[in-house]
């Protein structure tokens, strides 16, 4: 199956998308923050992004959902900066562009990174926190495709997305991988300072579903196209999680593929309990609640398979 963006790049139509995306940088209205800074002139807004994308790391990753990992890992590119900057972020130094590994990359360098992941045998190109550098990613694609890139493109984002920007990705992104973090205004304000996150999330999820539909998985168990939603369980937010599951089943699709994650390990500016964690009973109740809400495609981690991939056991 040919990745969606390959056809657009070969036809030359992607150039129109690149130009439109670049216009969103000056004044910057790329995401719902609507900072209005002139990133093309070197100004940096809330996300920390400037003219060029910044990358912290690039390589095969085996900790993603099984349907993304395949036999040789998901080809992750971790971008620095973020349009949400949640107070509990596990990649706190990256989201604030404070990590020593954060390095600006040109379009040619970003294309080379994608090609290196393909050469390693990765199942896909997994763009981690891409929303604020979407124009730079688009600009790199024709270079990568001309050199043979053909892997599915995974858009691994926080769910705080502009529909205007998402529409520029129609026919380019193969797998959308958004977080569904909050559905209550007070939660979004407390943890991300984004009062409009709930309504923005709903609009974004509907647009993603419209573009790619329910997740399709090939004979090897690898996702090729569609929507995969993540929800990170948080302490004291079981009812909000249930509201999110009901929303997904009702407003997005009962066939929505969902990963309910229990690995809450707060970092950064988190002001809650230091030992905050999600126990197995809470995770089990969440799975039951999702099933009750009408969701049937719930991700399960195969720990034995992960060990075999990592250690050849």
Close Cβ partners of 222 (under 8 Å, ≥ 6 residues apart)? 67, 68, 70, 123, 124
Tokens at 308, concatenated: 């075999």
Q: Per-residue b/e over 237-250, b at no fewer than 16 CB within 10 Å?
A: beebbbbbbbbbbe
Backbone angles phi, psi at 188, to 5 degrees: -65, -40
Question: Which pLDDT score, from 0 to 100, does residue 310 have?
Answer: 47
Average pLDDT over residues 262-268: 85
Beta bridge partners of 259: 230
Question: φ and ψ at 75, to 5 degrees?
Answer: -80, 85
The predicted structure's pLDDT at residue 302: 56
| pLDDT at position 80 over 60 | yes
Name the residue range of residue 85's domain: 4-311
Closest CA to 54 of 22, 99, 14, 18: 99
Looking at the DSSP bridge assignments, the partners of residue 257 are: 228, 297
- What is the CB neighbour count within 10 angstroms for residue 279? 11
Confidence label for 152 from pLDDT (cuts 50, 70 and 90): very high
Tokens of 128: 């981690």
Cα 248 to Cα 58, 164, 175, 257: the distances in Å are 31, 21, 17, 10
Confidence category of residue 73, pLDDT binned at 50, 70, 90: very high
- Higher-pLDDT residue of 164, 92: 164
According to the model, what pLDDT value does residue 313 have?
47
pLDDT digits (tens, 9 = 90+) for 302-313: 544 544 454 554
- Please give the pLDDT value at position 92: 83
> Does the pLDDT of residue 139 top 80, yes or no?
yes
Band of pLDDT at residue 219, cut at 50, 70 and 90: very high
CA distance 45 to 24: 13
Q: Give the three-state DSSP class for 57.
A: strand
The predicted structure's pLDDT at residue 306: 43
What's residue 304's pLDDT?
A: 46
Q: Which of 95-99, 116-120, 146-150, 239-243 has the least mean pLDDT?
A: 95-99
Taking only the tens place, the pLDDT of each residue in 186-211 is 999 999 999 999 999 999 999 999 99
d(CA 260, CA 284): 10
CATH number at residue 141: 3.20.20.70
Kindly tell me if the per-residue pLDDT of 84 is higher than 60: yes
How many domains does one find in the chain?
A: 1
pLDDT for the residue 1: 67
Q: Which two tokens stand for residue 258?
A: 């969902």
CA distance 276 to 238: 14
Cβ–Cβ < 8 Å for 138, 21:
yes
pLDDT in tens, 22-55: 999 999 999 999 999 999 999 999 999 999 999 9
- Cα gap 238→80, rounded to integer Å: 30
**Per-residue pLDDT at 307:** 44
Residue 260: pLDDT band with limits 50, 70, 90:
very high
Residue with tokens 């600009």: 139
Would the pLDDT of 167 be above 90?
yes
């Amino acid at each position: 199956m040919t990745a969606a963006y390959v056809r657009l790049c070969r036809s030359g139509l992607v150039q129109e998308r690149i130009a439109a995306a670049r216009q969103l940088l000056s004044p910057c209205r790329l995401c719902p923050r609507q900072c209005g800074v002139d990133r093309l002139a070197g100004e940096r807004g809330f996300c920390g992004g400037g003219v060029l994308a910044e990358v912290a790391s690039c390589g095969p990753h085996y900790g993603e959902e099984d349907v993304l990992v395949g036999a040789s890992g998901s080809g992750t590119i971790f971008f620095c900066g973020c349009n949400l900057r949640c107070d509990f972020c596990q990649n706190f130094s990256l989201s604030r562009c404070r990590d020593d590994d954060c390095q600006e990359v040109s379009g040619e360098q970003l294309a080379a990174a994608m090609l290196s992941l393909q050469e390693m045998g990765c199942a896909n190109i997994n763009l981690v926190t891409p929303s604020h550098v979407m124009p730079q990613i688009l600009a790199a694609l024709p270079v990568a495709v001309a050199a043979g890139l053909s892997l599915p493109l995974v858009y691994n984002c926080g769910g705080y997305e502009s529909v205007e920007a998402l529409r520029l990705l129609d026919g380019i992104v193969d797998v959308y991988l958004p977080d569904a973090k909050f559905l209550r205004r007070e939660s979004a304000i407390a943890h991300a300072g984004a009062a409009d996150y709930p309504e923005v999330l709903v609009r974004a999820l509907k647009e993603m579903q419209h573009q790619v539909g329910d997740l399709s998985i090939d004979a090897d168990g690898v996702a090729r196209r569609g929507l995969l939603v993540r929800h990170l369980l948080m302490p004291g937010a079981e009812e909000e999680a249930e509201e999110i599951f009901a929303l997904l089943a009702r407003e997005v699709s009962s066939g929505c593929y969902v990963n309910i994650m229990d690995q809450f390990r707060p970092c950064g500016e988190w002001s809650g309990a230091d030992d905050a964690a999600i126990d197995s009973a809470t995770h089990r109740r969440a799975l039951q609640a999702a099933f009750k809400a009408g969701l049937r495609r719930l991700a399960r981690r195969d720990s034995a398979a992960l060990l075999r991939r990592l250690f050849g056991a």
